[in-house]
Chain A
Amino acid sequence: MIGLAGATLVACADKSVPPRQLAGADAARGLKLIQAEGCGACHRIPGVKWPRGAVGGPLDDLSTQALIAGRFPNRPDVMIAWLRDAPAMSPDTAMPASGLTQDQARDVAAYLYSLDAD
């Protein structure tokens, strides 16, 4: 936890720090899942040319963002739980439970964390 917080602080100061790593996750497969699910219907996501939805927030610099949905710490495990079942964590969110498996959600998280704000 302290290490992660430290990494986040460093990341703020120096964008060259590698983003959050998820061992064994496949970011390329994550992007395919993002496109197959149509996440772009609500979110602007680098690597997804279209659609660029405007209902949810843009995900351009998620890897350096401190909080998920403005309320949960931006850690891989929290991110995976959020991707799979957001309403369980935040009952009034518009984001529905996705039906992604744990492994699929890991891949999606890996892709989102691979995005660099620059």
Chain B
Amino acid sequence: MQTDAPPAHESLKGWPPPALDPAGPFAAPLNSLTWGLLAMTAAVLLVVVVAVALALFAPRAWRRKLGGERLVWIAGLAFPVVVLSALLVWGLSLTNRLSEPPRPGELRIRVTGEMWWWRVGYLDASGREAFQDANEIHIPTGRPVALELESTDVIHSLWIPRLNGKLDMIPGRRNILRIQADKAGEYGAQCAEFCGGPHALMALVVVAHAPADYEAWKARQAAPAAPAPAHTAGKAVFDRAGCGACHAIRGTDANGLAGPDLTHVGSRRTLGAGVLPNNQGTLAGWIGDSQAIKPGNRMPAYPVLKGQELRDLSAYLESLK
């Protein structure tokens, strides 16, 4: 039964991300480069294998030619210099515009790698953070977006295979990764630099919206959480358990900065940095014992919560759309 089962992440759209399937103008040149390099190295390998075969088995006259000085100069020196230089120039010309600094008026999103999740800040025209979200990057289709990559702890690497190549997130530095999606949809991403413990469970989803939908999404996200009169019990559990020490819910007293902003956590596609479907049940399981799901993550298990408290709390969080 295990064989015809879908991957556990089928509900996590776009994950695991397919490589070599570009969906925008920044991934396409990398795709060409990958195939070009592969074709070139395959051709060189073939030539070398043929030369070795000739050296071993060919008639004496052929072998003498193969050992001649002229062939060494041409095939051993001139050929590699020309081919490798050409590949280098081609590669640089394809990739040199991928990491230019943000241009005025360009959409900027700051993505900070933290052990083991992504803090995502949407910057306004002046470069100030308008609001914060986590573990999802929302972009409009059809225009380039500059991702400012940072890290607060160790080196992470953001890899959205269908939109661009990998780029490291290095403490104390700001690297620019430019992405553009031509079609609306969901594009999986993954931390591509081992960052300790649950590194393999540090995923992310890029959601590309049609421009009008993107503006609507942005307006909803920038707003504080709506009052939740139907969930006063769950809100009370949130306050009592001290969740606000690490998590912020804008519009309430919760203003913690250590963990993901939960203002609109119910609207996210995934939970635990791209690893679980997001619904009341998985929220309850995550809060109750996230250590069983993602061992080593910074959120402790909460076995102190009673069944109904856990249910109320997860219902409240799920309602934060």
Task: Name A residues whose Cβ lies closer than 8 Å to a Cβ of B.
Answer: 27-28, 31-32, 35-42, 47-56, 87, 91-96, 98-99, 114
B284 touches A87 (CB 8 A): no
List chain A residues, Cβ under 8 A from B284.
Answer: 41-42, 55, 94-96
By the criterion CB–CB under 8 Å, are B5 and A47 in contact? yes
B residues with a Cβ closer than 8 A to A are 1-2, 4-6, 8, 10-11, 271, 275-277, 279-282, 284-286, 288-289, 292-294, 305-308, 310-311, 314-315
Nearest A residue to B310, CB-CB:
A94
- B273 nearest CB across to chain A (Å): 13
Nearest 3 CB-CB pairings of A with B: A41-B285, A55-B288, A94-B307
Q: In the complex, which of the residues A47, A53, A56 contacts B293, with contact meaning CB atoms closer than 8 Å?
A: A53
Most A Cβ at <10 Å: residue of B6, B285, B306:
B285
Whether the pair B285, A53 counts as a contact (CB closer than 8 A) is yes
CA distance A40 to B1 in the complex (A): 17
Asked if B311 and A38 sit within 8 Å, CB to CB, the answer is: no
Are A51's CB and B5's CB within 8 A? Answer: no
Query: Within 8 Å CB of A32, what residues of B?
Result: 5-6, 10
Q: What residues of A have a CB within 8 angstroms of the CB of B280 in the complex?
A: 96
Q: Are A93 and B307 touching (Cβ within 8 A)?
A: yes
- Whether B281 pairs with A92 at a CB distance below 8 angstroms is no
List of B residues within 8 angstroms of A38 by Cβ: 11, 271, 276-277, 279, 281-282, 285
Asked if A39 contacts B281 (CB within 8 A), the reply is yes
- Report which of A31, A41, A42 forms a contact with B1, defined as CB distance below 8 A: A31
Taking each of B271, B293, B314, which has the highest tally of chain A beta carbons within 10 Å of its own beta carbon? B293
Partner of A92, one of B1, B4, B271, B308: B308
Q: Hey, which chain A residues are within 8 Å of B11, CB to CB?
A: 35-38
A99 to B2, CA, bound (A): 25
Give the docked Cα–Cα distance between A38 and B285 (Å): 9
Check B5 against A42 for contact (C-beta < 8 Å).
Answer: no
The smallest C-beta distance from B120 to any residue of chain A, in angstroms, reads 22
CA of A39 to CA of B271, assembled, Å: 13
Question: Most chain-B CB neighbours within 10 Å: which of A47, A96, A99?
Answer: A96
Which B residues are in CB contact (< 8 Å) with A54? Answer: 289, 292
The answer to whether B8 and A35 have CB atoms under 8 Å apart is yes
CA distance A27 to B5 in the complex (A): 11
Can you list 12 A-B pairs, Cβ within 8 angstroms, ordered by A? A36-B10, A37-B279, A38-B271, A41-B281, A41-B282, A41-B284, A42-B284, A42-B285, A42-B288, A47-B5, A87-B311, A96-B315
Tell me how far the C-beta of B180 lies from the nearest C-beta in chain A, rounded to whole angstroms.
30
**Which listed residue, A36, A41, A96, A98, touches B311 by the CB 8 Å rule?**
A96
- Given A41-B285, A96-B311, are A55 and B292 neighbors across the interface (CB < 8 Å)? yes
A-side contacts of B315, CB under 8 Å? 96
Given contact pairs A32-B5, A95-B281, a sample of 11 additional A-B residue pairs in the complex whose CB atoms are under 8 Å apart: A27-B1, A32-B6, A35-B6, A38-B276, A41-B286, A54-B289, A93-B311, A95-B307, A96-B280, A96-B284, A98-B281
Q: Known contacts A35-B11, A38-B279, A96-B314: does B4 contact A55 (CB below 8 Å)?
A: no
Most buried by B among A35, A47, A55, A98: A55
Q: Are B1 and A50 in contact (CB under 8 A)?
A: no
Which residue of chain A has its CB nearest to the CB of B270?
Answer: A38
Closest CB in chain A relative to B7 CB, distance in Å: 8
Task: Give CA–CA (A12, B289) in the complex, Å.
Answer: 32
